[in-house]
Amino acid sequence: MSLREALRIPSREITDETVYRDRRRIVGALAASGALGLAGCAKADAPPPPPASKIDPARMRAGFTTNETRTTYQDVTTYNNFYEFGTGKADPANAPRTLRTSPWSVAVGGQCAKPGRLSLDDLLKGLKPEERVYRHRCVEGWSMVIPWLGVPLGDVLKRFEPTSKAKFVAFTTLADRKQMPGLSYPALDWPYREGLRIDEAMHPLALLATGIYGKPLLQQNGAPLRLVLPWKYGFKSIKSIVAITFVEHMPFTSWNDEASDEYGFFSNVNPAVDHPRWSQKTERRIAGTGSKLFADRIPTRLFNGYAEQVGSMYAGLDLRKWF
Ligand SMILES: Nc1nc2c(c(=O)[nH]1)N[C@H]1C(S)=C(S)[C@@H](COP(=O)(O)O)O[C@H]1N2
Ligand SMILES: [Mo]
């Protein structure tokens, strides 16, 4: 097997620790030698600062809902990616209910004036969860339409008074082997981590979700608190969040660490930039009552159809380089 092929083993097929560590070692060595080209340089480089962009409230609200056919509650809660509970789509729903979601606290810190560890209630105090019907697209090529319940992420972040050095926000999922059986396997470098540029985190579409279809989130969907970023591939929407950190530099993100040539920091949905192993031009829409495996293929849209709302944040950004 060539090195190139070795780098492209789908992570779900990697169960053996040695193979996994080996792959990480090879990627590390290649990156150090510069052989990975883009992937190596994306790590060293910093993206340009965000342009000043104005947000038109009416245009923004148009992104808060859609009349596309919704995915059934059954499908939303049984076809999931949550590697902490197994790498199969049905694993998270079939896993024992071992996640203790109460009490739950979130540590907020880094570049902000008012860091602290808050209970979930205190974190969301005074903010009324609202319903947002968002398209949700996985990098693997399936998509759903989901009525989320949540609060704007920016409203929560502002309470901690980020400083001028807060250029990015890093998020961390719980990592407790007793509650999450998947942590016994090295599918990713646990804990699961994600990050956003500060303007993305403050964008009105970015939601801290607590529910689906008016009900509290189930374990498999990231209870009790997860991100929802409808213009980015699903893996950016990190589940079961225990820490939020304001940082000056582009933070570590789990999928970028796993395969930097496949999963960029921005991960904006973009039909023009294919994943190295498959096209991103279309998606299989899981909605209504049809079969999940033979669902209709529909064209994928730039920024998942939210270009009107989020496009200005990426004006001037080379979307091939910053994929
Ligand atoms: N902690 C954590 N968050 C995660 C994941 C994960 O494995 N662990 N999977 C991501 C991926 S790949 C997708 S597509 C979405 C799936 O969310 P859903 O199961 O609620 O549809 O969660 C994202 N958040
Ligand atoms: Mo995904």
Give the CATH number of domain 3-314: 3.90.420.10
Protein residue closest via CA to atom 5 of ligand 1: 82
Ligand nearest to the CA of 172: 1
* pLDDT tens for each residue of 149-168: 999 999 999 999 999 999 99
Q: Is the pLDDT of residue 296 over 80?
A: yes
Residue among 70, 74, 75, 82 whose CB has most ligand 1 atoms within 8 A, to mutate: 82
Produce one character per residue of 235-250: b if its CB has 16 or more CB atoms within 10 Å, e if not. Answer: bbbbbbbbbbbbbeeb
Residues with CB under 6 A from ligand 1: 80-84, 138, 173, 192, 221-222, 234-235, 237-240
- pLDDT band with cut points at 50, 70 and 90 for residue 6: very low
Q: Is the pTM of this model over 0.95?
A: no
- pLDDT band with cut points at 50, 70 and 90 for residue 31: very low
Tell me the CA–centroid distance for residue 167 and ligand 2, in Å.
25
What per-residue confidence (pLDDT) applies to 24? 54
Tell me the CA–centroid distance for residue 99 and ligand 2, in Å.
21
Which DSSP letter does residue 180 get? -
Q: Is the pLDDT of residue 44 over 90?
A: no
Alpha-carbon span 34 to 162, nearest angstrom: 35
* pLDDT tens for each residue of 201-223: 999 999 999 999 999 999 999 99
Residue ranges of domains in the chain? 3-314
**3-state SS, residue 209:** strand
| C-alpha count within 13 angstroms, C-beta hemisphere, residue 215 | 11
Residue among 74, 79, 81, 172 whose CB has most ligand 1 atoms within 8 A, to mutate: 81
What per-residue confidence (pLDDT) applies to 118? 98
Q: Is the pLDDT of residue 9 over 60?
A: no
- pLDDT band with cut points at 50, 70 and 90 for residue 52: confident
Share of the chain above pLDDT 90, in %: 79
Q: Which of 189, 188, 322 is nearest to 264 (CA)?
A: 322
What per-residue confidence (pLDDT) applies to 13? 39
Tell me the CA–centroid distance for residue 165 and ligand 2, in Å.
30
Protein residue closest via CA to atom 7 of ligand 1: 82
